Amino acid sequence: MTRVRIDLNISLDGFASTADQSPENPMGEDWGRLTEAYVATRTFQSRVLGNTNGAGTTGVDDAYAVAYFEVVGAEIMGAGMYGLHAFPDDPEWKGWWGDEPPFGCPVYVLTSTAPRPSIPMQGGTTFHFRAAAIEDVLAEATDAAGGQDVRVGGGVSTAREFLRAGLVDQLHVAIAPILLGRGDRLWDDLRGLELTHKVTTEVAESGTTHVTFAR
Amino acid sequence: MTRVRIDLNISLDGFASTADQSPENPMGEDWGRLTEAYVATRTFQSRVLGNTNGAGTTGVDDAYAVAYFEVVGAEIMGAGMYGLHAFPDDPEWKGWWGDEPPFGCPVYVLTSTAPRPSIPMQGGTTFHFRAAAIEDVLAEATDAAGGQDVRVGGGVSTAREFLRAGLVDQLHVAIAPILLGRGDRLWDDLRGLELTHKVTTEVAESGTTHVTFAR
């Protein structure tokens, strides 16, 4: 059965991305520190960077990295994560991820601007652009996922929108033991999520704390 | 050697106390949920509630509770934690803790209002009121602690003030797996604390995550 999932890397003070994004540095300068333990895993090294020599960590962080890549059949993301805010006037913009994005499935980009044609990419990713209500986009993504999970990829405001609407079955956050003090807060206006979801917590060898809210 | 310590109970979204405090309910209605795992420990049950029948948890939470009560020779707290904001015009106000407060040492209350005489209480606690700079109050408290630790007890804004000034050797937070969505944020403006302090993290059986920043 399809579950709606969110996986995010945040700081101990709850920032999931930073305010200093730019076309040259799309994730901002703090992003590397937020994702350091994830990037170090053997799964990220092989799945994303193509290092097939066995490099990377194999502990708790890697177990979550393995789960991250499991059974996602469709992805939803906000316009900002895709880059529409950075390149609003470029109908040819194809996201930050190169010719073969790591999704390998249909990706639904939420936008309030004029619709643009879908963009098929190498490796199974196709970008679709939707101006509909999030419930309707989720229904379409769920259909496309064919029984696999739907991931709400981000950014933070999109994740919060789905969480507040009660549409998310599983939220996994990897909390880096750092204080950023700036950026976008994940936790705003989510009081009581622990009342509808069961919380589990696990600390990795890296010091990263993995917290999962699951329905 | 004296260390300057802070120990706080916060929610996963970083709230250390709530905005709904009142004379009738001085800690606010969320306080019970924030401190549930701590109150359940055998150490809290015996040290604070006087239950000497062995009741209470004995796991990770209790180990931190034991450490909480160790070697504190003086305490500093903000006017709000003491109750000066709730009872500004009552020179006889003696705090929320009854005739025998649980501190058992000199307690320095930071205030910007007119000085009032010190108040000796039963059990070794004496309340002193100081309008000086936090560095000067800390120097006096350190002297009074006689080689034991000085605790900055709270509230949140007082804790942040000492942290931002670089005066704190050890910050321990017990993070309850709940989202409060309201109250006072501990983490504001503390970017980079992990660069001056070593961070360790441990998850208790209760689901509480204990994070310690230590110099």
Strands A106-110 and A126-130: parallel
CB contact under 8 A, B181 and A199: no
pLDDT of amino acid A114? 66
Please give the Cα distance from B74 to B153 (Å, whole number).
Answer: 10
**B40 at A interface, C-beta within 8 A:** no
Best mutation site among B8, B10, B11, B13 for testing chain A: the one with the most A CBs within 10 Å?
A: B13
> Is the separation of the CB atoms in B11 and B207 below 8 Å?
no
Higher pLDDT, B148 or A28: B148
Cα dihedral sign, B177-B183-B186-B190:
positive
- Residue A67 DSSP one-character state: H
Please give the Cα distance from B11 to A171 (Å, whole number).
Answer: 17
Chain B residues closer than 8 Å to A207 by CB: 199-201
Residues contacting A178, CB < 8 A, separation 6+ = A11, A12, A33, A34, B192, B194, B199
Whether the per-residue pLDDT at B24 is higher than 70: the answer is no
**A19 at B interface, C-beta within 8 A:** no
Whether the per-residue pLDDT at B212 is higher than 70: the answer is yes
pLDDT of amino acid A19? 59
Cα-based angle B201, B65, B136 (whole degrees, multiple of 5): 85
Chain B residues closer than 8 Å to A191 by CB: 179-182
Please give the Cα distance from B137 to B177 (Å, whole number).
Answer: 35
CB contact under 8 A, B192 and A211: no
Could you tell me which chain B residue has the CA closest to the CA of A181?
A: B191
Closest C-alpha to B62, from B86, B44, B48: B44
CA A102 to chain centre: 12
Mean pLDDT of chain B: 92
Chain pair A-B, CB pairs under 8 angstroms: 75
CB contact under 8 A, B12 and A189: no
pLDDT of amino acid A18? 63
B170-192 pLDDT, tens digit per residue, is: 999 999 999 999 988 999 999 99
CB contact under 8 A, A177 and B203: no
pLDDT of amino acid A29? 75
Query: Can you list the alpha helix ranges (DSSP code H) found in chain B?
Result: 31-34, 36-39, 42-47, 60-68, 79-82, 134-145, 156-164, 193-196
- Point out the residue among A179, A200, A202 whose CB comes nearest to the CB of B191: A179
**Residue A2, min C-alpha distance to chain B (Å):** 26
Interface of B with A in 188-207 (CB under 8 A): 188-194, 199-203, 207
- Residue A124 DSSP one-character state: G
Whether the per-residue pLDDT at B79 is higher than 90: the answer is yes
List, as one string, the DSSP characters of A126-160. Answer: EEEEE-S-HHHHHHHHHHHHTTSEEEEEE-HHHHH
Could you tell me which chain B residue has the CA closest to the CA of A207?
A: B201
CB contact under 8 A, B13 and A177: no
Tokens of B138: 């800390």
Closest C-alpha to B11, from A161, A164, A191: A191
CB contact under 8 A, B203 and A202: yes
Query: Can you list the alpha helix ranges (DSSP code H) found in chain A?
Result: 31-34, 36-39, 42-47, 60-68, 79-82, 134-145, 156-164, 193-196
CB contact under 8 A, B177 and A193: no
Please give the Cα distance from B106 to B90 (Å, whole number).
Answer: 21
CB contact under 8 A, B200 and A194: no
Q: For B148-210, what is the HEC assignment?
A: CEEEEEECHHHHHHHHHCCCCCEEEEEEECCCCCCCEECCCCCCCHHHHCEEEEEECCCCCEE
Chain B residues closer than 8 Å to A18 by CB: none
User: pLDDT band at residue B114, thresholds of 50, 70 and 90?
Assistant: low
pLDDT of amino acid B143? 98
If you average pLDDT over residues B23-41, what whole number do you get?
83
pLDDT of amino acid B63? 97
- What SS3 class is residue A98? coil
pLDDT of amino acid B77? 96
Please give the Cα distance from A85 to A7 (Å, whole number).
Answer: 22
**Residue B142, min C-alpha distance to chain A (Å):** 28
**B187 at A interface, C-beta within 8 A:** yes
Domains and CATH numbers, chain B: 4-214 (3.40.430.10)
- Residue A53 DSSP one-character state: S
pLDDT of amino acid A3? 97
**B19 at A interface, C-beta within 8 A:** no
Phi-psi region of B135 (alpha: psi -120 to 50; beta: other; left: phi over 0): alpha
The mean pLDDT values, 10 residues at a time, for chain A of 215 residues are: 95 83 68 93 91 92 94 95 86 89 94 87 96 97 97 95 98 97 92 97 98 98
Tokens of A77: 């993301």
**B14 at A interface, C-beta within 8 A:** yes
Tokens of A186: 């994940």
Best mutation site among B201, B212, B213 for testing chain A: the one with the most A CBs within 10 Å?
A: B201
B197-206 pLDDT, tens digit per residue, is: 999 999 999 9
- Point out the residue among A14, A178, A191 whose CB comes nearest to the CB of B194: A178
User: pLDDT band at residue B61, thresholds of 50, 70 and 90?
Assistant: very high
- What SS3 class is residue A41? strand
